[in-house]
A and B are shown apart, each in its own frame.
Chain A
Amino acid sequence: MSETVNTVVEEGCFHCGDKVEEAPFLLDGHTFCCLGCQTVYQVLHDSNMQNYYKYNTHPGRSQKKKGIDVSYLDEPNIAAKLVDFKDDHIAVMTFYIPVIHCSSCIWLLEHLYKLNPAVVTSQVDFMKKQATITFKHNELSLRGLVELLIHIGYEPKITLQDVVKEGKKVNQNGLVAKIAVAGFCFGNSMMLSFPEYFGMADFEKQYASVFGYLNLAFAVPTLLYSASDYFKSAWMSLKQKRLNLDVPLALGIFIIFIRTAFEVLTKTGPGFADTLCSLVFFILIGKWVQQRTYYHISFERDYRSYFPVAVTRIENNVDRPVQLSDLKVGDRILVRNNEIIPADSILLNGQASIDFSFVTGESRAVEKILGEVIYAGGRQVGEAIELEVVKPVSQSYLTKLWNNESFKQYEKQFDTFIGFISKYFTIGLVAIAVVACGFWLVGGDSMKAWGAFTAVLIIACPCALALSSPFTLSAALSIFDRNKFYIKNTAAIEEMAAIDCIVFDKTGTISSPRSSSMFFEGQLSGAEKIAVASVCRNSGHPLSREIVKWMNVSSFQELSSFEEIAGQGMRAQVGEVSILVGSASFVGVKQGSADGSVVYVSIDGEVKGFFTLEQSWRVGLVDVVNDLKEGYDLHLISGDNERRMDALKLIFPKESSLLFNQSPGEKLLEIEAWQDKGKQVCMLGDGLNDAGALRKADLGIAVSDDINNFSPGCDAILDGDSFAKLPKFFAFAKDAVKVIHLSFAISLTYNVVGLSFAVQGTMSPLFAAILMPISTVTIISFTSLSTRWLAKRRKLV
């Protein structure tokens, strides 16, 4: 077996499948792209765990990124906050591991005990990308466990705002139990109602009362347990003097029960127990469909899920990890390579090169000088730096956004169509019932008056109406989901249909951090290109790598000397030629740009030109703007400078306002100003600096290139790849609302038919038992089918 493997020429790294560049790592006849991948293979091979590679080809993920420091996990008070359960011997911890993506991942993580016997059990939940690990904490510390996971390439995401644990709180068990009870009662009461519907012979009539009592017995738990939420909600809304759809529902359920109890106890009829149970069963299912959520995506993230759990504080020349909440003004902290700056602070020591991509969407690093204030949220790239905290974490430039009052309200209130309708529906329904009752009372037939009054409320119970919106919107939700557009809940789709003003952020939203293009201004000959590329090849700086890519040369030259000064540039000797590559001051350009992303090249003391790196627009941006131009106001708010205003002016229509140099707070106020003009505003953003605007807007859409990565709190997450489909999404949301309107018309037709019988006081239980499920089935199939059909027409499925 192993011999055949040896002869196969593999393409890409055996572990992760990435392209193997020059000087591959070789082991057991497999090639690896980097030492990290090879190490993982070695570890698994030594533990007899090659099965990992059997289930999928290239199951791993690239190990080129450097590991992070997890020494803070040794602090007992930090560790205690993270574990789910701990006793004298074992501890249980649930990790969120975003890289879980295939069956090999499940296999490896569930066989952790082979790598370290201190792991007792481990269980993966694939959909939630979680692993619950039980381990003997006396033999393996939490830090050791996390390091083991990182070592095999499964780095867990450990944050203060634990998405994993908060996700657990959302529990549908109560609702599921209520559905189960309602379904149980529905099935049984229907069986017991059949004899009545099919007709009974005279000698069988003796059973009728028994069936009646049993039916009543099944109706009681349905009323008291399964339907309890509707009564609570109806009561709450009456107290607030609003009429929501639960009011007629609760009224209908209650009246059905009263009439059933009355008929059974007085032996005047069979009652409507099966209608009651089926009604509650169906509307609860509608509720369940509406509440389905995404397991692995969190829409409620704030800065806590992005900031580290702990930070290294320097006290009397001793480094010690402390919890972020314990950080005080005046503390000296140490921030290493790839760590995030947790609070606004002053640079004391070291070469700071800060990547603010999470904040602004701009991925290039910004150089900072000693004594300069660095805002929280940036990621240090390069050597470790020392900082002094000037503001507590919660009061930093960025995090104080979360103290704004628009963050205090817990949930956005969307005006839904059903909410609007139910006001009039309830009033109309009660009016018809009272008129019918009065009509028969005047005629002197009090039995018929009671019959008509109850029948109206029973037959017009808006069951179909209550189902139309959840089923339509959840069908739409799954279609959006398939197109990589993840919407938080069904109400947000209705809000999306009402939007008439769309505001874009620039960097990272309409431009893509993944594709940036290098521009070179100046002249380089072919030989010079090779020389410069050979120099840049030796640097790990992202800009150097971009330059090498841009040069696209086939061969490289040997360097006779090379020196890299972090944050400034490189000095190298290639044969006879000396080359300087770096910032304006380093190369010696007097009137150069101070921007950290401009790289100058000087050969033998002569400045040859400079490179700039610009993010390129997302694919289809022009089409998106052109399509949305009709029917929507389009605006742009950017925290960046006006550098690319001219290009944007050509893309956006004349009426659009293009705002630059906006702070996070200003973005929020700008959104508010549009809202005050009566606009329904949708904000598209990506960074933490958009968090306020996303929250304030009627609909906040976070654009993200990796949905498992950080995205600010929002109503929907749009995968960057689907950006071009945005106009289709907006149009489809409008379609979905149209479907709801149509199904409302259908359910109203059923109600009118039913009512015409009901007001005459001639509605039989059989009629109700047939009409109710038929209208429900019609609505469910109409909404699901037409939503799918419309999606097909928009080419979304």
Chain B
Amino acid sequence: MNIIFFLIGCSVLIALIFLGAFFWANRTGQHDDTYTPSVRILFDDEVVADERAETKKS
């Protein structure tokens, strides 16, 4: 049953890693703007599209 001490240690360690990750995200401003990225991701990668259009023309 002593394994339980090891498991508790592991669970607290993992939780601490997540807490640290949250702190890092918060400090680097990843929660500053929660709206714009949702729009940005929908934009087409038009650089590639333009090249295709040009090759079609030629």
* Contact (Cβ within 8 A) A173 B39: no
The residues of A that contact B42 with a CB separation of less than 8 Å are 103
The residues of A that contact B16 with a CB separation of less than 8 Å are 184
Cα A181 to Cα B20 with chains together (Å): 10
Q: A173-B26, A173-B27, A177-B23 are in contact. Are A51 and B44 (CB under 8 A)?
A: yes
The residues of B that contact A364 with a CB separation of less than 8 Å are none
* Contact (Cβ within 8 A) A127 B12: no
The residues of B that contact A123 with a CB separation of less than 8 Å are 36
Q: A51-B44, A184-B19 are in contact. Are A126 and B5 (CB under 8 A)?
A: no
A169 shortest CB reach to chain B, Å: 13
A28 within 8 A of B: no
B15 within 8 A of A: yes
Write the chain A residue with the least CB distance to B4. Answer: A207
The residues of B that contact A551 with a CB separation of less than 8 Å are none
Cα A51 to Cα B44 with chains together (Å): 9
* Contact (Cβ within 8 A) B19 A180: yes
Cα A663 to Cα B47 with chains together (Å): 59
A187 within 8 A of B: yes
Among A243-298, those with CB < 8 Å from B are none
B32 shortest CB reach to chain A, Å: 7
B46 shortest CB reach to chain A, Å: 5
Cα A141 to Cα B14 with chains together (Å): 49
* Contact (Cβ within 8 A) B15 A51: no
Cα A385 to Cα B22 with chains together (Å): 57
A56 shortest CB reach to chain B, Å: 11
The residues of A that contact B34 with a CB separation of less than 8 Å are 127
Interface bits B18-49 vs A (CB < 8 Å: 1, else 0): 01001100110001111110011011101000
* Contact (Cβ within 8 A) A210 B5: yes
The residues of B that contact A107 with a CB separation of less than 8 Å are 43
Total count of chain A residues near the partner, CB < 8 A: 26
Write the chain B residue with the least CB distance to A128. Answer: B33
A640 within 8 A of B: no
Q: A188-B15, A210-B5 are in contact. Are A51 and B40 (CB under 8 A)?
A: no
Q: A126-B39, A173-B26 are in contact. Are A51 and B33 (CB under 8 A)?
A: no
The residues of B that contact A188 with a CB separation of less than 8 Å are 11-12, 15
B14 shortest CB reach to chain A, Å: 11
Cα A188 to Cα B8 with chains together (Å): 10
A666 within 8 A of B: no
* Contact (Cβ within 8 A) B15 A106: no
Cα A642 to Cα B18 with chains together (Å): 67
B40 shortest CB reach to chain A, Å: 6
* Contact (Cβ within 8 A) A126 B4: no
* Contact (Cβ within 8 A) B33 A48: no
Cα A106 to Cα B36 with chains together (Å): 8
Cα A177 to Cα B34 with chains together (Å): 17
Write the chain A residue with the least CB distance to B32. Answer: A125
Does more than half of chain A's interface fall in helix, strand or loop, or is it mixed?
A: helix
* Contact (Cβ within 8 A) B33 A127: yes
Write the chain B residue with the least CB distance to A181. Answer: B19
The residues of A that contact B23 with a CB separation of less than 8 Å are 177, 180
* Contact (Cβ within 8 A) B43 A176: no
* Contact (Cβ within 8 A) B22 A125: no
* Contact (Cβ within 8 A) B15 A48: no
A124 within 8 A of B: yes
The residues of A that contact B46 with a CB separation of less than 8 Å are 51
A214 within 8 A of B: yes
Cα A207 to Cα B2 with chains together (Å): 10
The residues of A that contact B50 with a CB separation of less than 8 Å are 48
Among A171-224, those with CB < 8 Å from B are 173, 176-177, 180-181, 184, 187-188, 191-192, 207, 210, 214
Q: A51-B46, A180-B23, A214-B8 are in contact. Are A187 and B15 (CB under 8 A)?
A: yes
A284 shortest CB reach to chain B, Å: 15
Cα A184 to Cα B31 with chains together (Å): 19
Cα A371 to Cα B15 with chains together (Å): 75
The residues of A that contact B19 with a CB separation of less than 8 Å are 180-181, 184
The residues of B that contact A191 with a CB separation of less than 8 Å are 11
Write the chain A residue with the least CB distance to B46. Answer: A51
Q: A180-B22, A188-B12, A214-B8 are in contact. Are A126 and B35 (CB under 8 A)?
A: yes
Cα A126 to Cα B16 with chains together (Å): 33
Write the chain A residue with the least CB distance to B9. Answer: A214
A614 within 8 A of B: no
Q: Which one of A48, A106, A128, A192 lies within 8 Å of B39 (CB-CB)?
A: A106
A75 within 8 A of B: no
B11 shortest CB reach to chain A, Å: 8
* Contact (Cβ within 8 A) A124 B36: yes
The residues of B that contact A331 with a CB separation of less than 8 Å are none
The residues of B that contact A55 with a CB separation of less than 8 Å are 43
Cα A569 to Cα B28 with chains together (Å): 60
Among A109-125, those with CB < 8 Å from B are 110, 123-125
The residues of A that contact B22 with a CB separation of less than 8 Å are 180
Cα A128 to Cα B32 with chains together (Å): 10
Q: A48-B50, A51-B44, A107-B43 are in contact. Are A176 and B26 (CB under 8 A)?
A: yes
Cα A123 to Cα B39 with chains together (Å): 12
Interface bits A303-338 vs B (CB < 8 Å: 1, else 0): 000000000000000000000000000000000000
Interface bits A10-41 vs B (CB < 8 Å: 1, else 0): 00000000000000000000000000000000
B7 shortest CB reach to chain A, Å: 11
A234 shortest CB reach to chain B, Å: 27
Q: Which one of A48, A177, A210 lies within 8 Å of B26 (CB-CB)?
A: A177
Cα A258 to Cα B11 with chains together (Å): 27
Write the chain A residue with the least CB distance to B44. Answer: A51
* Contact (Cβ within 8 A) A110 B8: no
The residues of A that contact B39 with a CB separation of less than 8 Å are 103, 106, 126
* Contact (Cβ within 8 A) A184 B15: yes
Cα A106 to Cα B40 with chains together (Å): 8
Cα A187 to Cα B11 with chains together (Å): 11
Cα A126 to Cα B12 with chains together (Å): 38
Cα A103 to Cα B40 with chains together (Å): 8
B39 shortest CB reach to chain A, Å: 5
A387 shortest CB reach to chain B, Å: 43
* Contact (Cβ within 8 A) A126 B15: no
A251 shortest CB reach to chain B, Å: 28
The residues of A that contact B15 with a CB separation of less than 8 Å are 184, 187-188
* Contact (Cβ within 8 A) B27 A127: no
A186 shortest CB reach to chain B, Å: 11
Write the chain B residue with the least CB distance to A100. Answer: B36
The residues of B that contact A207 with a CB separation of less than 8 Å are 4
Q: Which one of A127, A184, A214 lies within 8 Å of B36 (CB-CB)?
A: A127
Cα A126 to Cα B27 with chains together (Å): 20
The residues of B that contact A103 with a CB separation of less than 8 Å are 39, 42-43
The residues of B that contact A124 with a CB separation of less than 8 Å are 36
B58 shortest CB reach to chain A, Å: 16
**9 further A-B pairs in the complex, CB-CB below 8 A; given A106-B39, A184-B19, A210-B5:** A51-B43, A103-B39, A103-B42, A126-B35, A177-B26, A180-B19, A188-B11, A188-B12, A191-B11
Q: Which 9 A-B pairs have the closest CB atoms?
A: A126-B36, A125-B33, A103-B39, A184-B19, A127-B35, A126-B35, A180-B22, A51-B46, A106-B39
11 examples of A-B residue contacts, CB within 8 angstroms? A55-B43, A106-B39, A126-B35, A127-B35, A173-B26, A176-B31, A180-B19, A180-B23, A181-B19, A184-B19, A207-B4
